């Protein structure tokens, strides 16, 4: 061992990233797409991967980024977080891509984060998540908590909900989201009458639903991810619960999942920023392009849209910076002028925390498994990953979290 030791960092530059190997001298720019195409999360991520391809095709058809066509390198994260880390490293150091797009679970993002930070790369993450994170090397185009969870809670409060049951998958996003929900519920005067978790890869919810029946909540806050939702919904109806008496509000059931539940889910709610049913200027074109795209699922959804945005946002950033260089891109972001006419509306990038402004929407599932908008925020919600604008979130936790993040 002749390398740097702890404490040496300040002295030498040994630990700073090796110079980037990105080569944009040719007619193309290389980008990396990273999603689980195999394993358990392929269920959700294949669509994200596919819509990224569509965005790349569109951009190429429109002349590319800074006049350079996108040549993408597709990698499989295989639902395995270390694989996400390995592939990120490969994309950055072997393939020399200018930026990486993809991921779904927060776990995969957390695996990617240290690697992009080490190599000073860029990662665009498209799924709603639990917040309390920021990184100079990650751009978040899905909702943070104050754009999805908090609107949902406000909606519940407005509906006079007094007793809430929390059901989630057993991993970082639902656990963290629920921790935040509990803090906010206390402030709103909503009682949490139960909290249940089932592993991501299990879908028998019978026992937990029996507890829900016994707890008699007014509403269920559902942070279950993936196909475990199906088991939850089935157990829910088996037990005689209905949308009329005990409705569910979900943050991971979208247009694609709703018809796959094996039961009518009409009447339940979901909190997202984008719905297929949104009436914006750009949405019809997005829906049409997607329907026409090979291997399309036929419906659009929030994570897809966020993934779609991410590539365009990157294009805007690079063109503002006039360069593919990461530092230049970040500097361009800092000017807070980057916007994009997204299907969900005109979103603005916050150059400090690397999140985007988003409209809050609550949709109610109708008979066509589409969402009728039941509530909309009056304006776009500015991203606030550390919930600094919310006094009920304990400052000491925030401090500890930011400290721990370094």
Residue 21 binds which one of ligand URE, other proteins, none, with CB within 5 to 8 A depending on kind? none
DSSP one-letter code for 260: G
115 closest CA partner among 2, 34, 53? 34
Token pair 């930070």 is found at 117
Say which entry of other proteins, ligand URE, none residue 244 contacts (CB below 5 to 8 A, set by partner kind): none
Interface with other proteins (CB under 8 A), residue from 239, 328, 331, 376: 239
Q: How far apart are CA 249 and CA 107, in angstroms?
A: 23
Applying CB under 6 A, does 127 fall inside the site for ligand URE? yes
Smallest gap from Cβ 67 to ligand URE, in A, equals 35
Half-sphere exposure of 50 (CA within 13 A, CB side): 20
Owner of token pair 């007094």: 162
Distance in Å, CB of 256 to ligand URE, minimum: 14
Cβ 350 to other proteins, closest distance in Å?
22
Instruction: State the number of binding residues for other proteins (CB under 8 A).
Output: 93
- With contacts defined by CB under 8 A, name the span among 146-154, 253-261, 285-293, 326-334 that binds other proteins: 253-261
- Interface residue with other proteins, options 64, 136, 157, 171 (CB under 8 A): 171
Report the alpha-carbon distance of residue 272 to residue 269 in Å, rounded.
10
The length of the chain, given as a count of residues: 406
Binding-site member from 49, 105, 135, 283 for ligand URE (CB under 6 A): 105
83-122 positions binding other proteins, by CB under 8 A: 83, 85-87, 89-90, 93-94, 106-107, 110-111, 113-115, 118
Estimate to the nearest angstrom the gap between the alpha carbon of 94 and the chain centroid.
27
Using the contact rule CB under 8 A, the part of the chain among 56-64, 148-156, 174-182, 186-194 near other proteins is 174-182
User: Cα(204)–Cα(368) distance, rounded to whole angstroms?
Assistant: 26
Instruction: Report the distance separating Cα 232 and Cα 166, nearest Å.
Output: 12
Could you give the CA distance from residue 103 to residue 35 in angstroms, rounded to a whole number? 5
Stretch that binds other proteins, among 51-59, 140-148, 149-157, 237-245 (CB under 8 A): 237-245
Figure out which of the listed residues 229, 276, 353, 357 binds other proteins, where binding follows CB under 8 A: 229
Distance CA 106, CA 129 (A): 7
The full DSSP string for 168-217 is EESSHHHHHHHHHHHHHHHHHT-EEEEEEEE-TT----HHHHHHHHHH--
The only residue of 84, 140, 173, 274 in contact with ligand URE, by rule CB under 6 A: 173
According to CB under 8 A, which residues from 286 to 345 bind other proteins?
297
Residues forming contacts to ligand URE in the complex (CB under 6 A) are 105-106, 127-129, 173, 225
């Amino acid at each position: 061992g002749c390398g740097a030791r702890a404490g040496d960092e300040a002295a030498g530059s040994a630990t700073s990233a090796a110079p980037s190997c990105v080569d944009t001298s040719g007619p193309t720019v290389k980008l990396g797409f990273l999603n689980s195409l195999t394993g358990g999360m392929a269920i959700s991520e294949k669509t994200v991967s596919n819509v990224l391809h569509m965005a790349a095709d569109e951009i190429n058809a429109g002349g590319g980024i800074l006049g350079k066509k996108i040549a993408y390198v597709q990698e499989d994260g295989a639902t395995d977080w270390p694989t996400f880390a390995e592939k990120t490293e490969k994309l950055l150091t072997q393939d020399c891509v200018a930026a990486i797009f993809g991921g779904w679970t927060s776990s995969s993002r957390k695996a990617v984060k240290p690697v992009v930070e080490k190599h000073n790369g860029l990662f665009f993450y498209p799924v709603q998540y639990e917040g309390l994170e920021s990184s100079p090397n990650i751009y978040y185009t899905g909702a943070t908590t104050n754009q999805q969870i908090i609107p949902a809670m406000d909606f519940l409060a407005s509906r006079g909900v007094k007793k809430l049951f929390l059901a989630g998958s057993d991993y970082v996003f639902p656990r963290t989201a629920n921790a935040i929900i509990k803090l906010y519920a206390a402030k709103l005067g909503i009682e949490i009458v139960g909290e249940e978790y089932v592993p991501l890869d299990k879908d028998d919810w019978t026992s937990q639903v029996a507890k829900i029946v016994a707890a008699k909540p007014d509403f269920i806050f559902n942070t279950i991810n993936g196909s475990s939702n199906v088991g939850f919904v089935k157990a829910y109806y088996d037990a005689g619960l209905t949308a009329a008496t005990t409705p569910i509000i979900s943050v991971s059931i979208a247009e694609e999942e709703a018809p796959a539940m094996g039961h009518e889910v009409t009447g339940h709610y979901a909190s997202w920023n984008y719905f297929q049913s949104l009436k914006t200027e750009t949405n019809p074109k997005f829906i049409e392009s997607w329907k026409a795209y090979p291997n399309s699922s036929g419906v659009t959804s929030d994570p897809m849209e966020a993934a779609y945005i991410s590539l365009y946002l990157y294009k805007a950033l690079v063109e503002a910076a006039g360069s593919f260089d990461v530092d230049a891109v970040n500097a361009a972001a800092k000017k807070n002028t980057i916007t994009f006419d997204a299907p969900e509306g005109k979103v603005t990038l916050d150059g400090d925390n690397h999140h985007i402004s988003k409209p809050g929407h609550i949709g109610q599932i109708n008979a066509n498994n589409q969402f009728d908008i039941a509530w909309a925020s009056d304006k776009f919600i500015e991203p606030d990953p550390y919930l600094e604008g919310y006094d009920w979130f304990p400052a000491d936790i925030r401090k500890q979290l930011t400290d721990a993040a370094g």
